[in-house]
């Protein structure tokens, strides 16, 4: 419990900064940009019509952008990117803290097993992911109540919108696992923010493969696409196969990190 509380306190500053960025972008997009798009439909439609089909498909730009749900789908990639960077940074920071401070040997002299320490650090990261995800859901619900009542647009029910927004929890868990495994495997961690940003941007860029090629086989290497916004918004569900893939990848990363953490030698610096 002491390790868990210590990690929560140590990660609090980065958590608050990341949360402010995530919620700030959500308000900026859904409360600031969306009303402008909705009220300028004719002008925006002319711009959309000039986009190449691949570009429009990649960013979710279509006629549905003038509904709150459609605009959320358009914005969701950016929300996922922020959550991915945040979660990866928490995993990297929690599991790389002692490596950066060169105090790993001291940590392992504590009256607690390595498995206990690993579990406590992981629990702290997942706690932050869950809290950030729930606050994001609450923010989306509030913004929907204020701006999601356009009678000229096809309304997306709030439960479906929240289901789509809950994808950030899945993305957060995945990238926290990626960050934790990366921190355990790397010998040195020079920049938590740099590695976390690289992981998040890589996830963002991989979205372009299935969207621009039109070939779904590339989705297997694009974690953001495992949580299909269209399926959640239009049908109120996710694809079971891709949810299973996401859960399997997360479990494999966590398990591999645990094995490496428990068996790894403390390197002399």
Q: Which strand (E) or helix (H) includes residue 195? A: helix 192-206
Nearest to 60 by CA among 228, 241, 240, 175: 228
Instruction: Give the helix, strand, coil percentages of the chain, each rounded to 5.
Output: 80, 0, 20
What is the chain's Cα-based Rg?
20
Tokens read off for 50:
């000039």
Distance CA 26, CA 126 (A): 21
**Angstrom distances, CA of residue 160 to CA of 57, 72, 164, 236:** 21, 11, 6, 5
Distance CA 262, CA 212 (A): 42
Distance CA 75, CA 258 (A): 35
**Per-residue tens of pLDDT for the chain, all 269 residues:** 588 998 999 999 999 999 999 999 999 999 888 888 777 767 766 666 666 655 555 555 555 677 888 888 888 999 999 999 999 999 999 988 877 656 555 555 666 688 888 999 999 999 999 999 999 999 999 999 888 755 554 578 889 999 999 999 999 999 999 999 999 988 888 888 899 999 999 998 888 887 776 777 888 989 999 998 888 988 889 999 999 999 999 999 999 999 988 876 555 44
DSSP 9-61: HHHHHHHHHHHHHHHHHHHIIIIIIHHHHHHTHHHHHHHHHTS-HHHHHHHT-
């Amino acid at each position: 419990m002491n390790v868990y509380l210590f990690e929560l306190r140590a990660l609090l500053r980065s958590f608050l900064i990341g949360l402010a960025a995530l919620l700030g972008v959500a308000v900026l997009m859904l409360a600031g940009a969306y009303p402008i798009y909705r009220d300028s439909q004719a002008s925006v439609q002319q711009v959309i019509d000039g986009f190449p089909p691949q570009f429009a498909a990649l960013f979710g730009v279509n006629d549905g952008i003038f509904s709150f749900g459609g605009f959320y789908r358009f914005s969701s990639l950016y929300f996922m990117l922020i959550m991915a960077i945040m979660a990866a940074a928490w995993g990297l920071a929690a599991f790389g803290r002692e490596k950066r401070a060169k105090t790993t040997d001291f940590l392992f002299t504590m009256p607690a097993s390595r498995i206990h320490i690993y579990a406590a650090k992981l629990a702290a990261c997942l706690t932050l992911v869950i809290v950030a995800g729930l606050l994001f859901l609450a923010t989306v619900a509030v913004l929907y109540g204020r701006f999601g009542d356009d009678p000229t647009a096809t309304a997306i029910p709030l439960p479906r919108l929240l289901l789509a927004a809950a994808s950030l929890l899945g993305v957060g868990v995945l990238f926290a696992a990626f960050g934790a495994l990366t921190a355990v495997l790397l010998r040195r961690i020079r920049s938590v923010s740099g590695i976390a940003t690289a992981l998040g941007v890589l996830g963002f860029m991989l979205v372009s493969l299935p969207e621009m090629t039109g070939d779904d086989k590339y989705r297997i290497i694009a974690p953001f696409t495992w949580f299909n916004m269209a399926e959640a918004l239009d049908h109120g569900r996710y694809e079971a196969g891709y949810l299973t893939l996401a859960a399997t990848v997360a479990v494999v990363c966590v398990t591999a990190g645990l094995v490496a953490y428990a068996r790894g030698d403390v390197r002399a610096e």
